[in-house]
A and B are shown apart, each in its own frame.
Chain A
Amino acid sequence: KNEVEQSPQNLTAQEGEFITINCSYSVGISALHWLQQHPGGGIVSLFMLSSGKKKHGRLIATINIQEKHSSLHITASHPRDSAVYICAVCPTGTASKLTFGTGTRLQVTL
C-alpha cells in the first residue's frame, strides 16, 4: 500500500463544475503539497499546507491532520484546469523528502 493515495485517478468534468480531489496518507507529516502538472510536463506548486485551509483564486486546499486527509477543490472549473494534480507529503522526521501520490488526471470539457 502506498503511503499516499489519491482519488479519483481520473476525473472528467464539464466547464463550470465544482471539483474535489482527495489525498489520504498513512504517515505523520510536517506538511503536504499540492502540485499541478501540465500536459506538457511542467510542474507548478499550488499549495503547501500544514493545517487548516488555503485559498488561491478558484482553488481551495484543506487538510485534516488527525484524519490524515487533504482535499483540493476547484470552483467554476475551466478547460485550462485540465492537468494532473499530485499530492505530496513531507513525512515527520524526514525534512528533505517528499513522498508523492500517483496523481489525479483531470479533464475539463466545454
Chain B
Amino acid sequence: DSGVTQTPKHLITATGQRVTLRCSPRSGDLSVYWYQQSLDQGLQFLIHYYNGEERAKGNILERFSAQQFPDLHSELNLSSLELGDSALYFCASSRGLAAYNEQFFGPGTRLTVL
C-alpha cells in the first residue's frame, strides 16, 4: 500500500459526459502528479501540483482540468469525453517539488467511455 488513494477504482460512462477523479496523497506529501496510461500511448504525464499551485502541464487536453485543494487532495476533471479518453488514470505523490524525487503511485482509476 503506497498510502495514495484514488477514487473511484472503475468508472464507466458515455461519450460527451463529464467525470471527476479524486486523489489523496500520502500524509506529508505536497506534490501530486496525474498520469494517463492508454494501450496505444503508454504512460503520459498530464499535470503537476505542488502545495495547491499548478507547476507544470504535459500532454493534457483542454477538455481536462485539475486542481489541488488546501487539504492537498487533488481532482482531475474530464469533460466532453471521447472514446479515446478510455484509459487508466494514475495519480502519484511525493514530498518535494521536483520529479526526480521518489513518487508513490495510487492504484489508478480505470475509465471506460462507451
A-side interface residues toward B, CB under 8 Å?
30-31, 33, 35, 41-45, 48, 50, 86, 88, 90, 94-103
Contact = CB atoms under 8 A, between A and B. Distances in A.
Q: Is the interface of A mostly helix, strand, loop or mixed?
A: strand
Contacts of A102: 42
B44 A100 contact: yes
B25 interface: no
Given A50-B100, A96-B33, 20 more contacts: A41-B107, A41-B110, A43-B90, A44-B105, A86-B43, A88-B43, A94-B56, A94-B99, A95-B56, A96-B45, A96-B97, A96-B99, A97-B48, A97-B56, A98-B33, A98-B45, A98-B99, A98-B103, A100-B43, A102-B42
Given A97-B56, A102-B42, A30 B102 contact: no
Interface string B76-114: 000000000000101010000111111111011010000
B67 to A, nearest CB: 16
A99 to B, nearest CB: 7
A59 B102 CA distance: 17
Contacts, number: 67
B65 interface: no
Contacts of B102: 33, 45, 48
B103 A95 contact: no
Interface residues of B, number: 25
Nearest to A35: B105
Contacts of B88: 41
Contacts of A35: 105
Contact of A96 (B42, B55, B107): B55
A101 B43 CA distance: 8
A43 B1 CA distance: 10
Contacts of A48: 100-102
Interface string B24-40: 00000000010000000
A99 B105 contact: no
Contacts of B20: none
A33 B2 CA distance: 17
Contacts of A95: 55-56, 97-100
